[in-house]
Structure 1
Amino acid sequence: MATGFFWDEKCFWHAGGNYAFTLPIGGHVQPLAAGGLPENPETKRRLKNLMDVTGISGDLDMRSAEVASREALLRVHPESYLDEFKRLSDAGGGELGRRTPFASGGYEIAALSAGLAVAAVEAVLTADLQNAYALSRPPGHHCLPDFPNGFCLLANIAIAIEAAQSNGLAQRVVVLDWDVHHGNGTEGIYYERDDVLTISLHQEGNYPLDTGAITDRGKGAGAGYNINLPLHAGGGHSAYLHAMDTIVLPRIEAFNPDIIIVACGFDASAVDPLSRMLATADTFRQMTLRVKKAAETVCDGRLVLVHEGGYSEVYVPFCGHATLEALSGSAITTPDPLGPALEIRQPSPRFDAFLRAEIDFLAQQL
């Protein structure tokens, strides 16, 4: 079975709406930029372009998808929220929450972004594909049921999980979030449930400022099924792999899920403007290889990566390409143009030992 890649050009046309002053965007007028927002289409478009240039696209099953249905959205978001989102979208755009502006047609694009995740998860669970990557945009892991924030307008992964569970395709799901920002939306949606294990690897005290503590472990039936791993700024390749090996992978295997879904942000990279971490393209390759092996062990390889953050137009394409190489097993590779420079900028042995000791300390708190 192949690796699927779900994408749609229309997702690149999501824009900052009232933050954009260049053109009255909407309809057939493609936005010139993201309206000043760090979350812009070029990081995603340049990933797709690099895939086409190297030829790895030919090794993947390239697909689009239908927009997520109203029924699918209502399993996560209240009707009042969806109605207000649609009203503002039809009226030319606006902003519903914190840092979530959108232009005309934003509702439909967000529903398509969620639809890519829904289709990817369904295709893997029905054995149509072995694993898959959904290039969803706008992202979703910060979005709560009735409050969008951090560029996220709909909870893409949660919508995909609820669709799969309602259709009887899965019962137990792991969501591993390695975006550099805490996955507060996913956490909030599943905080009191024991059928979805949420694990968030994030830079401590980045965004949101008031969530992501290791002491937030879930509530009621969900107690113990929410794991936050707030990492010190400056953590690099070694620290991320140590966290994966000592905490993340054992927890995934113990939970024994039907599918693993990764909230795949590339903003932990060393050149990302919205973080202070030192991950490289190879970091994402190695994390993908590890979680892929875990999926082969516990759930017959069923694994879906859903795109979240990543704001370096230069480096996100190479982080994404490395991830897809690992996910698909393709022999097509591309050199990392920043690899040598970032390798010598990794934490010193002394600081790396401190970072690893801190991760070991986190493990003791769980």
Structure 2
Amino acid sequence: MAPALSVRRVALVHEEDYFWHESRVDFGPWVEGDAQFETPEPRRRLLQLLQRTGLADRCVRVRASELTDDDLVRVHTPAYVARIRAADLTGGEAGESAPFGPGSFSIARRSAGGVHAAVASVLDGTTDCGFALVRPPGHHAEVDRGRGFCIFANIAVAIEKARVSAGAAPVRVAVVDWDVHHGNGSQSIYYDDADTLTVSIHQSGLYPKDSGRIEEVGGPAAPGTNINIPLPPGSGEGAYLYAWDTVIAPAVTAFKPDLIVVACGFDASQLDPSGRMLLTAGSFAALTARALDLAGSLCNGRLVLAQEGGYSPIYVPLCGAAVVSSLLGIESLDDPLSGIGGTEQQPLQEHQREIVDRAAQVHQLA
């Protein structure tokens, strides 16, 4: 059981209907259809662990914002939003590897509303930082299509609504994505936006295969505001923390954001079926602690973590609990599975260092 004393007010956003989103896929007439990797169970079990351990009670429960289609079209094309709405009764395909079932339009819109609620809570001072346990995820969604289990770009929709809201609207926002897959959606949406820094640390060449290279540095109006760190399979905590200290922290510091949002996937964990990385629950706690330090030094602690990928029903709950504990400023739960995966490969390897150093050199951070 975690200690009783918390040092921060942490917004925790979750809604029951997030677990009702259906992503079943049809494999054709010869093989029975089945669920995608993206199912409710890892997130449901994470919420249950937070509740059973008392971590949820130490957070501030924040309800998802009720967004409108006008909020969605600040990011997505009206035609795309209309297409998803039209298929709400039957379900359909938002795009490549993004199936959805009946009712998912409103659930996906509320998922974006969950991220916005956490952002709004932090910006108005109700809480110090936040964790949005939302579903479906959003970091692969582009302006005119869904991709990779994502329907709407949750983080971008939240940022753009916050930017037009009254009060302390953020002008400059840093989006740091540590999901194992490249954050192509955030990159494509903000590629030519000088007020938004997008950073993605991911497994090289995993998904999407056509994006996530170091050389993708931003558009003509925003050179240097898109940073990719494509780590090789088998990278562990040493590589991630070296990338944070060498590239991510210096880049975000130079950018001077008003708000930091983390696309918080847990699929870079040692037990995830969709990636080949070696992070532990403790690794995610360490990354969260670094994000907190960065936000504390740059933007009055304004930090929001938004749930993205993570497909191990066994390990996602432990990783998520470690993140929430870190946000609260209390000791994490014991991780009984920390020694399973590649402990000898956890330290930084030379070939991993070379990739991180090249990213630093391209962005003149070395």
TM-score under structure 2 normalisation?
0.92
Please say if residues 62 and 117 of structure 2, whose CA atoms lie closer than 8 Å, have aligned partners that are also in contact: no
Q: Which amino acid aligns with 1:280?
A: T
Q: 2:355 and 2:155 mapped to 1: Cα distance?
A: 30
Query: What corresponds to 2:94 in structure 1?
Result: 96
Q: SS of the counterpart of 1:360?
A: helix
Q: Which residue of 2 aligns with 1:358?
A: 355
Counterpart AA for 2:17: K
Helix, strand or coil at the partner of 1:221: coil
Give distance in 1, aligned partners of 2:199 and 2:22. Answer: 29
Instruction: State the Cα deviation string for residues 285-321 of structure 1 (Å, max 9, x = none).
Output: 0000001000000000000000000111110111111
CA distance in 2, matches of 1:255, 1:267: 27
> In the alignment, is the contact (CA less than 8 A) between 1:145 and 1:189 conserved in 2?
yes
Q: Is the 8 A contact 2:139 2:308 kept in 1?
A: yes
Aligned AA (1:306): A
Aligned-residue offset at 1:325? 0.7
Match of 2:3 in 1: none
C-alpha distance in 1 between matches for 2:280 and 2:135: 22
Compute the displacement of 1:17 (Å): 4.8
- In structure 2, how many angstroms separate the alpha carbons of the residues matched to 1:95 and 1:361? 38
Question: Partner letter of residue 237 of structure 2?
Answer: H
Counterpart for residue 115 of structure 1 = 113
Query: Could you tell me which amino acid in structure 1 is paired with residue 267 of structure 2?
Result: D
Output the amino acid matched with 1:358: I
Query: Which residue of structure 2 lines up, in the alignment, with residue 68 of structure 1?
Result: 67
SS at match of 2:12: strand
1:347 maps to which residue?
345
- What SS does the aligned partner of 2:126 have? coil
2-structure distance, mates of 1:290, 1:314: 25
SS at match of 1:249: helix
1:57-109 CA deviation, whole Å, 9 max, x = no partner? 1110122223322121110111111111011112x111121111111101000
Write the deviation string for residues 227-265 of structure 1: whole angstroms up to 9, x where unpaired. Answer: 011111110011100000111011111111000000000
Q: Secondary structure at the match of 2:339?
A: helix
- Flag the 1:346–1:41 CA change in 2: closer, same or farther, 3 A: farther
Unaligned runs of 5+ in 1: 22-33
Mapped partners of 1:76, 1:348: distance in 2: 38
> Displacement of 1:131 after TM fit?
0.4
Give, in angstroms, the shift of residue 365 of structure 1. Answer: 2.2
8 Å CA contact 1:267, 1:274 repeated in 2: yes
Q: Which amino acid aligns with 2:86?
A: R
Q: What amino acid is the match of 1:189? A: I
Asked whether the 8 Å contact 1:67–1:114 carries over to 2, the reply is no
**For residue 295 of structure 1, what is the amino acid of its counterpart?**
A
| Structure 2 residues not aligned, in runs of 5+ | 1-7
Taking a change above 3 Å as real, the CA distance of residues 348 and 45 of structure 1, as seen in their structure-2 partners, is: closer
Report what 1:12 is aligned to.
19
Structure 1 distance, partners of 2:94, 2:293, is 40
The offset of 1:45, in angstroms, is 0.4
- Tell me the distance in 2 between the aligned counterparts of 1:312 and 1:101: 20
How many Å separate the matches in 2 of 1:197 and 1:280? 27
Partner of 2:84: 85
RMSD: 1.7
Task: Please tell me whether residue 297 in structure 1 is matched to residue 297 in structure 2.
Answer: yes
Aligned length: 350
> 1:18 offset after TM fit, Å?
5.5
Pairing of 1:137-216 with structure 2 (within 5 A)? 137-167=135-165, 169-216=169-216
Give the equivalent residue in structure 2 for 1:317. 317
Report the residue type matching 1:134 in the other structure.
A
Instruction: Report the Cα distance in structure 1 between the residues aligned to 2:351 and 2:137, rounded to whole angstroms.
Output: 33
Q: Are the aligned partners of 1:141 and 1:185 in contact in 2 as well (CA < 8 Å)?
A: yes
| 4+ long deviations beyond 3 Å | 17-21
The verdict on how the C-alpha distance between 1:283 and 1:18 changes in structure 2, with shifts beyond 3 A counting, is closer
Cα distance in 2 for residues equivalent to 1:167 and 1:20: 44
Q: Give the TM-score, by structure 1 length.
A: 0.92
Tell me the distance in 1 between the aligned counterparts of 2:217 and 2:350: 26
How far apart in 2 are the matches of 1:346 and 1:110? Answer: 40
CA contact under 8 A between 1:141 and 1:183: conserved in structure 2? yes
Structure 1 partner of 2:124: 126
- Find the aligned partners of 2:26 and 2:135 in 1 and give their Cα distance: 17
* CA 53–348 in structure 1, closer or farther in 2 if over 3 Å, else same: closer
CA contact (8 A) 1:59 1:330 kept: no
Instruction: Indicate the structure with greater helix content.
Output: 1
SS at the partner of 1:244? helix
Task: Give the aligned residue type for 1:13.
Answer: W
